[in-house]
Structure 1
Amino acid sequence: MKPTIRDVAKRAGVSISTVSRVMNAPDTVTEDKRLRVLEAIEELKYQPNSFARGLIYRKSYTLGLLIPDIENLYYAGIIRGMQDACIKLGYSLMICNTDRDEGRLLAYIDAFHEKQVDGVIFASDKLIPEYYEKLAGYRIPFVLVSSHSYEYEVPSVEVDDEAGAYDAVKFLIELGHRKIAMIGFNDPNSVAGPPRCRGFARALAEAGLEHNSGNIVFASHRFEHAYDAARELFAKYPDTTAVFCVADEFAMGVISYLKDRSILVPGQVSVVGFDNVRMAGMFIPKLTTIAQPMYEMGYRSVEKLHELLATGRVQVTRERLQHRLIVRESTREK
């Protein structure tokens, strides 16, 4: 059997708490006892397991992730970045799918407290007072990824959603399109939705196309909802030649709707997405999209939470990573 902290204490002739202090705060232990404990650790080849480490350092080495929809392709890259950062920094990651259900999310926070997670990463949705108060009440450090909060001083990692949408629509305008529409998020708790609408409107206004700024149909976060939204959009604005979608999954829904109506993409309608999920380069036609650095966002969110846990603060509270426009096959000149 592997040696335990109790075996080390017995070999060194000290208490278990003394062994813990030698490993956690050695300066608080007399030199004689410290040397005896270190010799016992070496002789027994003792390595604390995760539970023992938790007892010693009062840490679980576990982080909790609150994610709204684990089936959404967008989160795959973010989670991959988180996992790699956790491996590097010695954490495990506990993933909880909230389905954007407030009661479920609050219950997960209770579970995180019971399991003594060291910190929590909150993904995508708006940080409402109930969530903040629950986490703050339990004194669980947390950061936001693909989200932000101006009401509370909470560290966050995201892209500039307004600038990304602006770049997408400006690109369509530069291609010669003048009848441009948008499919946006209808979720009232969406963080990315409103700034992407503002970016859409700003690009149109700069080009003198303000009359297009109301050409928006909203949908929930799924492909099939975007398909239905495309039907509504082209019924309302049948002369549309370009569509900006706030997510790649939405863009795929729009293209599928147009294909079913024998409308060519990009021959008759150009479509731009947002995210650059893996499927964006596999879909037919391959999507022109605004790429978010999803892996880096996930990685940085764990690093930022680790910094918060280690020092009690972060150097950069609201961190924005750079987006970029990727031009593929779903757009062309008008």
Structure 2
Amino acid sequence: MSKDRPVLVLTCVDDPTSDVVIHELNNRGVPVVRCDPADVLACRLDVAACFGGDARAGYLQTESRRLDLSAVRSVYYRRPSSYAAPRGMSVQDGRFSREQAKHGMGGILANIRGRWVNHIWRAIEAEFKPTQLAVAGEVGFAVPKTLITNNLDAARDFAKDQGQIIYKPLQNSELTRADGNALMVWTDLVSPGELDESVSLTMHLFQECVDKVADVRTTVIGDQIFSVRIDSPYLDWRQDYDQVTYAAVDTPPQITDACRRYLARFGLLFGAFDFGIGQDGSWVWYECNTGGQWHWLELETGLPMTAALADLLEIR
């Protein structure tokens, strides 16, 4: 493949994971164009695409680079910003502006030919926890008993049947504390007494509590699979990274096969799978993040994950 065909990296400004991939591609002499699609609303990105007749795919102009969309080698869809209306707009105008940008940019970018890691539409489909749970069971993972509901009686009956349950968000949201710092909603135990009428205000995900001895993050990058055991005193190990220890482990063949079937069902080339290791050594599936973090695990274990990602994008 011609070396002048760039890799397009779609992500926000503050994304260290993309930084290391771009650095690796630069070291290999592979050109890269980095872009945050949301910049179209901040006057930092010009886009034009024509359709019909013999029209070309169009171009994308950042503050420093111009990209012919028909020349893209591959796309790394990582962590683009949410579309935010320009300052000073009314609420109605801002809503209109965001929707036009979202649908215009999304449609233009989705038409880029070449390898996607992962394609925007496939990634969106695979974000929904109920869909993940259904597919995970179908491909052979051990899936915890799970209830998704806004019905208080259903939640109380589930808690009574399972004995001990946990709550986890159906989707991570950008939340802040009163002081402006980020607010995280951790996976946590829920007692029956905590279930009240507020359950009816939105959808909730409740799950049986797995009697685990450790967690595992299994990162699939194309044909390569990397599993890291994560030991922590917390139910949700993300609560304190200073108390976490890591160790690279072999991935059981049945887990490898199920991971590949799962990604194939969604048309994905990358997936960050989370598991719990039960008292009997079995791996219990929790979720799969199509844009999950992985680089810190490479730093902790030495697993060659950056090189694997760059291989996938370089398409040698």
TM-score, normalized by length of structure 1?
0.36
Q: Per residue, is there more strand in 1 or in 2?
A: 2
Q: Per residue, is there more helix in 1 or in 2?
A: 1
TM-score, normalized by length of structure 2?
0.38
